[in-house]
Amino acid sequence: MEIVHLTAAQMGRLLRAGELTSEQISRAFLDRIAATNPAINAFISVAAERAIDRAKEFDRTRESSSRLSASSSSSFSRLCAGFRSR
Amino acid sequence: MKDVLVSTDGPTTCASKMLERFVSPYNSGVVERLEQAGMVTLGKTNMDEFAMGGSTENSAFGVTKNPWDVTRTPGGSSGGSAACLAAAQAPLSIGTDTGGSIRQPAAFCGVCGLKPTYGRVSRYGLVAFASSLDQVGPMGHTVEDLAMLLQAIAGHDPRDSTSIPDPVPDYLEGLDAGCAGLRIGVIRDHLENEGLDDEIRQSILKTIEVYREAGARIVDVTLPNTRYSIPTYYIIAPSEASSNLSRYSGAHYGYRAAPNKALAKESSALIDMYCAAARKDSAMKSNAESCSVPTPSAPAITMPIISRLSRCDDSFVTTMTRPSSKPM
C-alpha cells in the first residue's frame, strides 16, 4: 500500500521494524500536499524543509536507540516506538 | 497542526489578516509534546478565522474544499485539519473544538475526531476563542490512531490553569476489549428531531444495532436541558470571544477592521452579562452512572460552498482569498 494511505499505527509498526523511515513518510506526504493542496487549500503554510530536517533527526535517534535497546513494555510505547525520539 | 496553536517554525495566523505575519516566540504545549513523541509537523492547517465558524469559508487565506466533493465545505472550524486527512495529505492532525469544531468537520470529511475532556490537553499557546469551552483534540483515520495521538498530547501542564492534574489513562489499553458490558445511552428525542436528516438518523440507528450485537447494553436516556444548549452556547461563546479577541487592537498586531458602533453597544451588554454569570460558581457535578451516548455530529451532510460565498460581497472574495495555485 502507498505510504500516504497507511494509518499512523501501521506507520509506527513499519518504522519500528525498520521498513520505513520518518524521512520517507514525510517526503511522501509533502509530495502529496504539493500535488493536491492547490485543489483543496487545506494547508495555510507548509514547513517542508524543517519537516525533512526533523524527520532525519528522528531517524538518526531511532537508529541509535534501537542499537542500544529495543524493549519497551507499555502498549503505547509498543505502538508508538516508531514515532518516539526518546 | 491547526493554525491556532502557536509554533516557532513559521507564522501562526489563526486564518486572520491581523496575524498574517505573526511568528510566536515560543511553542504551544501541544507542539512540544508532539516533538517529544517524535512526530513531524508538516504545516499549519486552514480554519475559520479565530476558530469561529463551521465551514472553513471564513478564512483570510481562502476557503478549504471538501476532498470528497470540492463544491462542498469540509465543515469547520478545523476544516483544514479534517480535509488534509481525507486527501491523504497527513496521517494525523490536531484540531480544536469549542462548539463542534473537531467533531463536525471530522463527520463532514469522513474521518475520526475527538473533543477530549476539558482540561485534559494543554491549552498553553492556544489562541483562545471561548475559554470555558475550547479544547485541543486529535483527528485521524481510525480510533486507534486517535488513541495514540491523544496519548501523546494529553497530560497536565502547569502553564495552563485549567489543565487537569490527574494521571492520563492508557487509551490504547481498551481498544481490543470489545463492547460487552458497555452501556450505550440513546436519546430518543434527538433521533426523532425533525431537523435531523433521515440518512443520518438511519446511520445512527444502524450503529446502535452494531453495538447491541457486539454485546453492549442499550438504554434510553434523557438530557432534558439540551434544548437550552444552543442559546447558552451563543451567550457564552461570543462573550468570551469578545473578551479574548479584544487584545487584537491593531496597535500590536497591525490590522484593524473598522468598528461598528451598533455592534459595539450590543457586545458591551453581552460582556456585562457574561461577567455577572462568571462570578457565580457555575461548577456542576453529576452523580449519574456514566454511559456512552451516540449522537449525530451534525444534523445533515455538508453544505455547498457556493451558497455561503454568494452571501459575501465581491470585495470580500477578491481581497480575502488567495490564488489557490500558489504554494502555501
Are the C-beta atoms of B128 and B50 separated by less than 8 Å? no
CA angle A46, A52, A54 (to 5 degrees): 105
Amino acid at B254: G
Backbone angles phi, psi at B294, to 5 degrees: -75, 130
Distinct helix (H) and strand (E) counts, chain B: 10, 6
Partners of A6 on chain B (C-beta within 8 Å) are: 91
Confidence at residue B293, expressed as pLDDT on a 0 to 100 scale: 85
Give B 167-196 residues with CB within 8 A of chain A: 170-173
How far, in Å, are A80, A82, B97, B280 from residue B51 at the CA level? 30, 32, 8, 27
Distance of CA B172 to the CA centre of its chain: 23
- Contact present, B127 and B245 (Cβ < 8 Å): no
How long, in residues, is chain A?
86
Question: What sign for the dihedral angle of Cα B237, B239, B240, B242?
Answer: positive
Low-confidence residues of chain B: pLDDT under 70: 250-252, 254-257, 259, 267, 270, 274-275, 277-289, 306-328
* Sequential DSSP letters for A9-28: HHHHHHHHTTSS-HHHHHHH
Torsions phi, psi of B317, nearest 5?
Answer: -65, -40
Place of cell 473598522: B258
Distance (Å) of CA B159 to CA B32, B163, B170, B233 = 13, 8, 23, 26
In the predicted model, residues of chain A with pLDDT beneath 70 are 68-86
Strand intervals (E) in chain B: 43-45, 92-97, 112-113, 135-140, 183-186, 217-220
Question: What's the predicted TM-score (pTM) here?
Answer: 0.84
Output the pLDDT for position B319.
29
Q: In Å, how far is A80's CA from the nearest CA of chain B?
A: 7
Q: What is the pLDDT of residue B227?
A: 85
Provide the annotated active-site residues of B.
2, 77, 101
Give the contacts of B143 (CB within 8 A, at least 6 positions apart): B112, B175
Q: Chain B contact for A81, CB < 8 A? A: no
Name the amino acid, one letter, at A13. R
CB contacts, 8 Å: B145 with chain A: 7-9
Measured between its terminal Cα atoms, the distance across chain A in Å is 28
CA distance B283 to B85: 36
Q: Are strands A43-46 and B43-45 parallel, antiparallel or unpaired?
A: antiparallel
Q: What is d(CA A51, CA A23) in angstroms, rounded to the nearest whole number?
A: 8
Q: What is the DSSP letter of B180?
A: T
Q: What is the pLDDT of residue B277?
A: 66
Chain B residues with CB-CB distance to A75 below 8 A: 170, 172-173
**Contact between B109 and B66 (Cβ < 8 Å):** yes
Q: Is B143 near chain A, with CB under 8 Å?
A: no
Grid cell in block for residue B161? 490553569
